[in-house]
Amino acid sequence: MKRIFKSIAIITLLLTASNIANAQKHNFELIKNNNIFNSILKELSLFYVDSIDAEKIITKGINSMLYSLDPYTTYIPKSEEQDLKFMTTGEYAGVGALISQRDTLIQITSIYEGNPAQIDGMKAGDRILEINGESMIGKDNSYVSDHLRGKANTLAVIKVMRPMVDSIVTLNVTRKKIYIPAVSYYGATRDDVGYIYISSFNTNTASEVKSALLDLKKNHNIKSLVIDLRSNPGGLLNEAIGVINLFVPKGKTILETRGRHKELETVYKTSQAPVDTEIPLAILIDDESASASEIVAGAFQDLDRAVIVGNRSFGKGLVQSTRPLPYDGTLKLTTAKYYIPSGRLIQAIDYSQRGKDGSTTRIPDSLTTEFKTAAGRIVRDGGGITPDVEYKYPKQSNILYYLTIDYHIFDYATEYAAKHSVIAPANEFSLTDEEYEEFKERLKARDFKYDRESLKLLEKLKEVAEFEGYTDVAGETIATLEKQLQHNLDKDLEEFKKEIKSQLEMDIIERYYYKKGVMSRSVEEDECINQAIEILKDSTQYKQILSPKK
């Protein structure tokens, strides 16, 4: 026994010495490279041919260093602390409008209902010329956004160029504290099915979902529920667990986080009494559902508590924390990975494994591992959440894509709103055939052009045929095909009338009824939602999906 204990002591001493040596080597490397960096900066400052902007190049260096780790580890200077606060709370002080760059001006693209922009007369389509006497012509999005924001109850005098109005419009907009709800919309659909759309996970998400759920149960007597997490980028982990807790009994393990340090390893369990553990649930996800959204969808799937409908989610299984830095900066860094109830990690990219050019790739399905849900269904790790029922979205037509990015639909909606003081309710509004014809004539008058993928491929074919010497043989056939594939605007506008008209109506509805109106209309027309509703209506199918395959 003495020999065994002596051997163990020797091994322990060797391991301790090895660890100390490794730590010393690591510390030496840090000190060495820090000194090199400081020396380079000093030499640049003293001898570079032109004067350098130290803050600019150091910030760029910091950002490059952090991005080499993963895209979620970032430096947030004091000047951007409001963005961090908005991401976590959904709050900021400003006017309540979305903007985008259009040529040399910034355009208002959307207005938040009930906020200063709406109350004080801003309209979608307005192009900002001046804020508080300073020209905004040629300024970028972030610059104009900074000037629209400010302390609550301060005045922003905004001069805009408004379509359909000859003179410049001056608006006196009083900034207020803006809160963007996490639950953008909820309501009851046909057949007693409730619907809740969650756009983010901020400090109030769980309480907003609870309020919506209680209202739907009390005032609409819903029998099942669709929770929509599509395009939800995530947010606060505790809020995701709070949402799950509404539908899962107290004491259930939802998540484990594992990091480099023991103190970062945490087991998260439901801690409150649930609202409803029996109501049938369908969760909608897509490839933009990430992080906290995937925690919710993944936990419901692993606990066999809901049917997941849609497309495979983004695949972010990393947890970020914030650390204070000198001069009021903040470091947001990845500190842990999270594992959902089945034990799987859904991270889709291993950022430690990069190509020589720094590129990353998703973990192939062949390298993923099987896990089992509480009921014994097979699920896999390493690539986001795979839905129980996949929905195949119809491909958007090429013409609609160009009508959208070239602002033809946006501008038509802007002009329509200027000509019509009121329209029918969101769920009833429809453009007439005459109005659609008017839209078509408007496009022709503006000489609307758009790319056709078939013509692009034909050009490639012509190049290859010429290279391989087939021009003489196939030239006439290619010329005939080229003639047949030429633009026929009238034909395409009729062939894709349904989806173009639907998008026009949505843009017009937003001018009058804002995001809630658009969501109300979308719930009726969205085929992915309809697919989820059909599953919830069929109790046999619902139970079958949540049962292990025999």
Q: Two tokens at 354?
A: 């990069």
Annotated active-site residue 316? The verdict is: yes
How many Å apart are CA 525 and CA 41, to the nearest integer? 58
Q: Two tokens at 483?
A: 């003639």
Q: Note whether 291 and 384 are within 8 A (CB).
A: no
How many Å apart are CA 286 and CA 380, to the nearest integer? 17
Q: Note whether 113 and 516 are within 8 A (CB).
A: yes
- Active-site residue, selected from the candidate residues 139, 316, 462, 515: 316
Residues 6+ apart with CB under 8 A from 94: 116, 148, 149, 150, 175, 176, 178
Annotated active-site residue 83? The verdict is: no
- Active-site residue, selected from the candidate residues 70, 120, 228, 302: 302
H helices, E strands: number in the chain: 17, 21
Of 465, 218, 491, whose CA–CA distance to 210 is shortest?
218
Q: If DSSP codes are grouped into helix, strand and coil, which group holds residue 248?
A: coil
Annotated active-site residue 366? The verdict is: no
Residues 6+ apart with CB under 8 A from 81: 328, 330
Beta bridge partners of 329: 325
C-beta neighbour count of 394 within 10 angstroms: 7
How many Å apart are CA 210 and CA 274, to the nearest integer? 10
- Active-site residue, selected from the candidate residues 145, 224, 291, 342: 291
Q: Which residues are part of the catalytic machinery?
A: 291, 302, 316
